[in-house]
Each structure stands twice: as C-alpha cells, then as structure tokens.
Amino acid sequence: MRIFYAVAIGLLCFFSCADEDPINLEKVLAGGSTSVFAEFSNAFQFPAANLSPIELQNHRRGDVAFESSFVTAPSQINAGLGPIFNQNSCVSCHGKNGRSPFPDSENDLLGLLFRVSIPGINIHGGPKPVPGFGGQLQTKAVFGKKSEVSVKMNFIEIPGSFSDGEAYSLRKPIFNFDNAYIPLPGDVMISPRIAPPVFGLGLLEAISVEDILKHADPIDLDKDGISGKPNYCWDELSQSLQLGRFGWKAGQPNLLQQTAAAYLDDIGVTSPLFFEESSKHQIQYDGGMDDPEINNELLSLTTFYTQSLAVPVARNQDDPEVLSGSKIFDKIACGKCHVRNFKTGTHREFAFLSNQHILAFTDLLLHDMGDSLSDHRPEFEAQGNEWRTPPLWGIGLTKIVNGHSNFLHDGRARNFQEAILWHGGEANQSVLNYKNLSKKERTALLKFLNSL
C-alpha cells in the first residue's frame, strides 16, 4: 500500500496548492483534510492524508492487525479464534475496508450476520440475550465444536412501477435457520446485518454530541414528518449510557467498544474490554484459560486503523447532471436525514480528526424506516423499524472497490434505486416524490449518488 499512500497524498497536495484551483475543494473534500483523491479499487484503503509520521506508523501497524487471520490456540501468532465465530479476521467482513456484498452462498455468509435477543432488556437497558445463544448467531466453529446454527436463504421479488409506467422489482430476502445445536426459543427476535464500510469513522466519532442533537426532533415538533432520534447505549468504559454512533442501530458509543465487540462476537476473540468468551455457559466453551486473547495494545491499534482511514473525495461535482441530481436530492428531502455537512469538534485523542469540515451525508440519528425494513427487534432506544442514517460518502465507489452494489442493513438492495424504493416510514413522502420524478430526473439523482 505504500506507493498508493504517496500517490494519494501527492495528488492532494497538487490540487490544494495549485495557483488556479481547478475544482471547488469544499464540494469534494468529503473527509476534510483527511481526504484522498482516489477513484480505483483501493480507494478505501488509504490512511488519512494529514497523519503525522508516528500516526502513519501506527496506522500501518493497525492495518496489519485488521488483516490478520486468527487461528485456534495454542498457536504462537494470532491465537484465540472461536470456539464459535462468524469470520476469522476483520477484513473477511470488511473487504478492502468497504461494505460486504450480499452472500451468494449459504456456506459462506461473508459479512452477513444475525443479531438475536428475546423480549425484555438486559441490566443496561440493551437487548436481552437468548439463553444458549447470546446476542449473535455464530455460524462457524473450530474443529471439534458445533456451530450454533446454519442459515438458509430464499428471495421474494416484489414488483412495482413509477408514475411514468416504468417497472421495477425489489428483492426481499427470507432467512431460515436450522441445525441449531439446541432449539432456538419461539420468541427469538433475529436481525440480519451486513458489514458496512469502515473508512471515515474517526471523523464521525469526532462530531460533538451537541451538534448531533441539533438535528434531533424525536416527537417531530417542526411537523415536517422527520423525527431524528438519538440512541443511548451502554458504554463499558464509563459504565454509563452514552450517545450511540456506530452500528446499524447506533448501538455502540465509540470505536474502541465497536472494535472490541466485533472481535468477540464475530471472531470469538476476547480482549481486556470484553474478556469472557461469547460461548460461556454453552457446550462450546473452552474454559477461558487464555482470556483475554488480545491485549490493549492490539485492540487500540485496530481501533486506530478505523479511526485513521481516509475518506475518498467526491467526484464530478461540476457535472451538470450531477448538479441537477444534487438539487433533486434536496428537493425530495433526502437531506433531511442524510445531512450533508458537519464540522467535527475536538477529538479526545487525535488532533487530525478535529475541526474538519466533512460531507458525511448522515445525522447519526435513528429514523422510522417503515415496516418493510423492520427487524422487529429493539436495541436500547431503537425500535424494530428504526435505523441509524448511514453515511453516503464514498458510496459511489462501492462497485469499483467491492465489485457489487448491495445496500441497506441486510444488503437486500441490488442498486441505489432499490435502496431508495425500500425506504418507508418517515421517508414515505420522499419515496413517493422519487416515483413521480421523470426518467431523466431519476437518472440525475442516481448519478449524484454515484458521484459521492
């Protein structure tokens, strides 16, 4: 990756230092000074352009940790996999730091996983674990152990049409679970989740709580039909409820905890933050003699890697069709939730993330997305039909980087248009407005999304 770092930083300097600025940097530097000019298959793999030499060195060490595959104990290197798990490395879910495709095979779910709970709440107000399964279904196990379940997938095609008569079809996945090592309870609530991109996360962590809450309107006092509700989730370090920012329902307050939770639930690796195996009290439990399986240094390096990844710049922002699509984006009120601009506050650890003007296209708040997208599973303040607005920066590069165009929380949408049409709840009017657009207007809006 070293040559790519140099190219990206060099290009940034060129565009920033030219006597006659050929582009409007305020419209393209989606990640502020962390941004990189990259429009190719490694576009999500650059370090932030404004790292110090020491930070760049730590980023590279974190890169190694992110890509490392874990194996079973007592290996001398990267021991601790399982005994039950979903994948054996971070990069197995977040390929090239981007979003996972919807899996083609039930035998390898890639970045698709299933959160589970039963009615009620745990001692911190979060989802109540399923006895014998915990909070996530692990579909793989080390040799000699039994995975928790296997997954079967089917699809339903839902036809529809635009006002101009053009037809479309939406793909709805149906998941079934068999081969459970013990029966799943009848009242289990199951939430499919696909792995999202991991670049730019440090900037989202640096937005002040106050600036996020400025966009909250949980009881819709302004009567515009859009609420915006903060989720408050449990913070292990402060032992208190804090504003949620990460995860599809904003169920994690910071990247350290997000990373530690992924190590535990996805890979089966314990850390000083979560030092008990996910399989404890189950027949797969290995006794916990080697816990925690990673130390604070490795956990911090992996976390720093996600904090310090660059955001690729927006492209073609002076293209007339992109400009038209941008206006339509606002006209049909997409920007009510996908808020374009934020200025980050002062990050508690890293100055390179502070005071950056960013174009994230998210408000980090929960919104009612309608019954069609509901998982019928609450998570702290989030109800089944509520999801956190995902950032749109870099979304137009998904096809180039990851080779697919699957979107939404479970990857069901096969392209931008399907993702728009699946919106419901607070977005019903925006979807109706989209259906009433002309073919030319719809194309312009999709081209704008592709430019981000």
Per-residue pLDDT, 23: 64
Q: Which pairs from 274-278 meet CB under 8 Å and 24+ separation?
A: 274/236, 277/83, 278/84, 278/134, 278/136, 278/138
Integer Cα distance of 384 and 403 in angstroms = 30
Look up the pTM and report it: 0.93
The helix/strand/coil state of 257 is helix
Query: What per-residue confidence (pLDDT) applies to 250?
Result: 98
Checking DSSP bridges between strand 112-121 and strand 136-137, what pairing results, if any? antiparallel
Instruction: Report DSSP letters for 83-123, one per residue.
Output: SEES-SSHHHHSGGGSPPPPPSBTTB-TTEEEEEEEEEE-T
119: amino acid identity, one letter: P
Q: How far apart are CA 168 and CA 379, in angstroms?
A: 33
User: Residue 63: which of 307, 311, 305, 308 has the closest Cα?
Assistant: 305
Amino acid identity, residue 25? Answer: L
- DSSP for residue 393: T
**What would the pLDDT profile of 329-377 be if each residue is shown by its tens digit?**
999 999 999 999 999 999 999 999 999 999 999 999 999 999 999 999 9
Q: Are 31 and 358 in contact (CB under 8 A)?
A: yes
Nearest to 404 by CA among 251, 248, 194, 262: 194
Handedness of CA 313, 249, 101, 436 (dihedral sign): negative
* Predicted local distance difference test score (pLDDT) of residue 6: 44
Query: Could you report the average pLDDT of every consecutive run of 10 residues in the chain (452 residues)?
Result: 45 46 77 96 97 98 97 90 96 97 94 98 97 97 96 97 98 96 97 98 98 96 95 98 98 98 98 95 90 95 98 96 98 97 96 97 98 98 98 98 98 98 97 98 98 97
